[in-house]
Amino acid sequence: MKTVACVIQDGFAPFEFGVACEAFGLDRADDGVPNFDFRIVAPRAGVVTSKIGFSVNVEHDLTFAYEADLVVFCPLPRERWGDIDPLLLDVARHAVDRGAWVMSVCSGSFILAAAGVLDGRRATTHWMYAHVMAEMYPGIDIDPDVLFVQDGKIITSAGTAAGIDACLHLLRQEVGAELTNRIARRMVVPPQRDGGQAQFIDRPIPVVPTDSLAAVADWAVAHLRDDLGVDRLAARALMSPRTFARRFKAEYGATPAAWLARQRIIHAQRMLERTDLPLEHIADECGFGSAAVLRQNFARVLGLTPTAYRARFSCAEESAAPAA
């Protein structure tokens, strides 16, 4: 992926627009991250007004979007969901037909839905609008409980900050886990959040993890090869297992088991990228026990085998040079 077109129009949402700019538009060459040819485009070049009143001057029309490797559709105002600019629909169809990456953030998914490219596919949007999309487009399998959905090369994300999760998910496939983790650190966000939109519906905002849980989480990451049951983790936090599990889910948005599974996958990704160690060794180091279990979890989470991931993202020789 070398070129990215970010599509906006009058009434665009500044935060979601900023997410795309932050993920794909900044120069991070100092961190070893490849730069993308990132351009902001609109149905017509010129002044485009945001939904809160300020305007930006967009230099490019949609021409670049017809050749970009990734086309990102930012949210559009609700009053326009039933009357979307035909130019945007054509760009979406063309991008899907030629096999480009296509991403929508929040209600940007209504552009893809109107274009017909989500028919027969699984997708998501902001939980507040999921029922509206289901009524307007019954041919789409809408999952309102997830942060993002990838179906083929189409990624739809839930509301606002879920766009960050979707962008990092795509970057992980294109530039690998290590560089994506660097980007996430620069953005001061976790490289991968567990859980889904359901945790944000009609519930209080989760509190910041307590010092005791943060210390246990850090210790667990350093001991992933060990047997890390809830009883053991709870003992380190000086809590009962039941209290620990409840607090952990509330503060991290995932059960201890689900969170640990994700950390083990991330560690496996790094080892596959940086080393040429056999899968059995990596499985043992990451706490999976066997290569078969590693393969099963890897395929379930990332959609490809450890061997395929290594073939695509290995930088073992590059990592060995500084060490030597």
CB atoms within 10 A of CB 216: 24
Domain ends where: 161, 187, 213? 187
The pLDDT of residue 186 is 84
Task: Give the pairing type, strands 101-104 and 154-157.
Answer: parallel
| Percentage of residues of the chain with pLDDT beyond 90 | 61
Q: What angle do CA 167, 149, 186 make, to 5 degrees?
A: 20
CATH at 91: 3.40.50.880
The pLDDT of residue 191 is 66
Answer yes or no: is 100 within a domain: yes
The pLDDT of residue 322 is 43
The pLDDT of residue 308 is 85
Answer yes or no: is 195 within a domain: no
286 and 226 within one domain: yes
Q: Between the ranges 120-124, 251-255, 269-273, where is the mean pLDDT highest? A: 120-124
The pTM score is 0.66
256 and 152 within one domain: no
166 and 234 within one domain: no
Answer yes or no: is 236 within a domain: yes
Residues 82, 84, 90, 94: what is their CA dihedral angle, to the nearest 10 degrees? -70
Mean residue pLDDT across the chain: 87
Question: From CA 144, how far away is CA 127, in angstroms rounded?
Answer: 5
217 and 161 within one domain: no
Question: From CA 42, how far away is CA 58, in angstroms rounded?
Answer: 7
212 and 183 within one domain: no
Q: Between the ranges 130-139, 198-207, 248-257, where is the mean pLDDT highest? A: 130-139
Answer yes or no: is 197 within a domain: no
Asked if residue 316 has pLDDT above 80, the reply is no
**CA atoms lying within 13 Å on the CB side of residue 258:** 13
Residues 91, 86, 116, 140: what is their CA dihedral angle, to the nearest 10 degrees? 110
DSSP structure string for 10-47: TTB-HHHHHHHHHHHTS--GGGTPPP-EEEEE-SSSEE
322 and 223 within one domain: yes
| Mean pLDDT of the 285-313 span | 87
Question: From CA 287, how far away is CA 294, in angstroms rounded?
Answer: 9
Q: Structural domain of residue 214, as residue ranges?
A: 204-324
Adjacent-strand bridge partners of 37: 3
Answer yes or no: is 50 within a domain: yes
How would you label 263-275 residue by residue, b for 16+ Cβ within 10 Å and e otherwise? bbbbbbbbbbbbb
Question: From CA 143, how far away is CA 153, in angstroms rounded?
Answer: 17
181 and 213 within one domain: no
Task: Give the pairing type, strands 70-73 and 101-104.
Answer: parallel
Domain ends where: 123, 154, 187? 187
Asked if residue 319 has pLDDT above 80, the reply is no
Number of H helices, E strands in the chain: 14, 10
pLDDT in tens, 208-233: 455 668 889 889 999 999 999 999 99
CATH at 278: 1.10.10.60
Answer yes or no: is 245 within a domain: yes
| Percentage of residues of the chain with pLDDT beyond 70 | 90
The pLDDT of residue 7 is 98
pLDDT in tens, 95-148: 999 999 999 999 999 999 999 999 999 999 998 899 899 999 999 999 888 889
Answer yes or no: is 193 within a domain: no
pLDDT in tens, 30-65: 888 899 999 999 999 999 999 998 999 999 999 999
Q: State whether residue 248 is helix, strand or coil.
A: helix
Q: What angle do CA 121, 124, 127 make, to 5 degrees?
A: 150
As for how many domains the chain has, the answer is 2
105 and 55 within one domain: yes
